[in-house]
Amino acid sequence: MLASKNLKGIFVFKFQIMQLVFATNNSNKLKEVQSLIPDHIKLLSLKDIDCLEDVPETQLTIEGNAIQKAEYIKKNYGYDCFADDTGLEVETLNGEPGVFSARYAGKQRDANDNMDLLLENLKGRDDRSAQFKTVVALHLNGKLEAFTGICKGKITTKKYGEKGFGYDPIFKPSGQSKTFAEMDLALKNEIGHRGKAVMQLVEFLNSL
C-alpha cells in the first residue's frame, strides 16, 4: 500500500496495482473469481498470456492439482499466478468423485454426464451428504501458499436450476433451500467453497 499527499497535504492511501494470472480456461470460474478480486489486483487469464495448451493436472489430490497448475504457469510463462482445483466429495461413495470430479463420467468432461452418473450411483441411498472442496495455490515472489474452502451440503435427487456450472444443479448447501444453480452469484460466492478459498487468498494479498 502506498501513501501520498493530496493538494491539501492530507495523506491518501492507495493500493499498488498487482498483476496475477488465474490459471484456468474455465470462463465460469473466471467470472466467479473476478467478482471477488479487488480493483487493485489485475487478473489475467491464460488467454491473456497466450497459454493455449491444456495445463496439466495429473496429481491424485485436489491440493496437488492446484499446486501443479500454479507451478506450471510460473515455470513456463514466468508470471506470478494462482490456480484452483475443486472436487465434490460424497460421503457414502467414499469421497467420490473427488479429484476426478471433472472427468467422473469420462474424458469428455461433460457436466450433465457427470451429474447423471452421480445420481445413478446414489440411487437407493439415504445418506446424500457431500461437500465441495476448493484449494487455491498461489505462486508469488518465489513462494507457494495454499488456501482451502469447504462447503457442506447434500446431493439432490434431480437437477434444479440453470445457473452456475459443474455439479451446481444437484448440490444444495447446508441451511439453504436452493441448489447452487438456483442462487445468484453473490450468495454462491458468500457461502460457497470457491468463494471461501478466494477470500482467504485476497486477505493474504492485502496483508502484503
Looking only at the bridges linking them, the beta strands covering 81-90 and 129-140 are: antiparallel
Based on the residue annotation, tell me whether 84 is a catalytic residue of this protein. no
State how beta strands 171-173 and 143-155 pair. Answer: antiparallel
State in Å, rounded, how far the first CA of the chain is from the last one: 8
Judged by DSSP in three states, 21 sits in strand
The DSSP string of 159-195 is ---SSS-TTGGGEEETT-SS-GGGS-HHHHHHHSHHH
DSSP 8-state secondary structure symbol assigned to residue 148: E
Q: Which of 80, 84, 85, 168 is catalytic?
A: 85
C-alpha cell recorded at residue 206: 492485502
Active site amino acids = 85
